[in-house]
A = this chain, B = another copy of it.
């Protein structure tokens, strides 16, 4: 069976739905009810109604067909519940419950695996947080605590539920959009490889980001990823790289983990981009989802703060990009509108009194230069002269078809505008180093696309 029933079910049963706020089975039902348009069946033998929905003692008591079951009850009961799902002919089941191999209960997990295999029911989990997409929100986090990101083009797979959910909150805070989030937990059935294969065909997904502690089947993963990365980028952040980290992975997920070198070599072979830190997973995913590749390593920097420009130059050197010489025509064109105290070389320093018009002229001039393949725009929005027109200026720069990243950081005033810029498809970074590194990843992905093998 394909994974479609997980992502586009017509009806969902929540096994372990609860009337008690803060309990997982309550929060999941609540968030599902507020997002999902299909039929919802709360399963709870001790009540007749939860959140104005009719409750059933078991899935077997529901007359209508059920596409997807979500189980949030103690581990000891899960196998029996899955048997009931099989009997009910449910084809897809997400097991939130923990208490399996991650705490050493390997036999319990094996039993569950065998039951589901025989019953031909597909499983995500156990020990996971399920799926999040705009109209299918089964997170147990209250919305007032964990914001949901807007719809967008990153799909995100996480072997750690906590890691994944926090990332969603950060993405929401920064205004970065998500297509699908899948927390895979102990992955006794559906794993990272099957999911990336599914997401390859998903038109809403332009970049796949993965937090991974182990790979179920290395060979299959490499083969599949190799095919996909020629079409859309995959970024992976691997947890458990050091000796002690590997030990902890075995304890956390109950799965085997190989050495960091083996993983890095496999990722490289498969054209998968590896993030070295959690910040990078996020930084890289959004630029890959939104911007075209950087065709060579020649970039320009446009800034209103000289110090930021210098830090960006250092970063370019570090990450293999060249702060290229601007053509004579470009310099002439810059001289037409730049004040005498501005700098007409790369990095172009518009200085601290720059307004949006000066940015517009400078960005367009520089993007027109055939020596320049991409631009890092550093805009300190706190400067009194710089109005909100800068947002539209950045949007209009997209027509050049060259990648752009922005460095802008601060508190509420700036964050609000950064979210708007993100919403227009231009990734924003809090430091110039991170904005430069993001551009370097577009260069790296460009090389992956060109590689013949």
Contact = CB atoms under 8 A, between A and B. Distances in A.
A384 B252 contact: no
B213 A310 contact: yes
A412 interface: yes
A34 interface: no
B384 A314 contact: no
Given A145-B413, A306-B102, A409-B166, A316 B244 contact: yes
A401 to B, nearest CB: 26
A311 B411 contact: no
Nearest to A172: B411
A256 interface: no
A204 to B, nearest CB: 23
Q: In the complex this chain forms, how many copies of it are found?
A: 2
Contact of A162 (B169, B305, B345, B385): B305
Nearest to A303: B162
A141 B383 contact: yes
Interface in A315-364: 316-318, 323, 340-341, 343, 345, 347, 349, 351-353
A316 B98 CA distance: 27
Interface in A277-329: 277-279, 304-311, 313-314, 316-318, 323
Max chain B Cβ within 10 angstroms of own Cβ: one of A24, A145, A248, A347: A248
Interface in A416-435: 430-434
Contacts of A244: 313-314, 316-317, 323
A446 interface: no
Interface string A245-289: 100110111000000000000000000000001110000000000
Contacts of A352: 98, 161-162
Nearest to A243: B317
Max chain B Cβ within 10 angstroms of own Cβ: one of A170, A251, A313, A323: A313
Interface in A123-170: 140-142, 144-147, 158-163, 165-166, 169-170
Interface stretch (A42-50, A109-117, A192-200, A234-242): A234-242
Contacts of A347: 248
Max chain B Cβ within 10 angstroms of own Cβ: one of A310, A313, A349, A412: A310
A207 to B, nearest CB: 20
Contacts of A277: 431, 433
B163 A278 contact: no
A433 B244 CA distance: 15
Interface residues of A, number: 84
Given A277-B431, A412-B173, A163 B252 contact: no
Contacts of A412: 147, 173
Contacts of A431: 277-279
A99 interface: yes
B317 A242 contact: yes
Contacts of A252: 306-307, 309-310, 349
Contacts of A304: 162
Nearest to A323: B244
A214 to B, nearest CB: 11
B169 A411 contact: yes
Interface string A51-93: 0000000000000000000000000000000000000000000
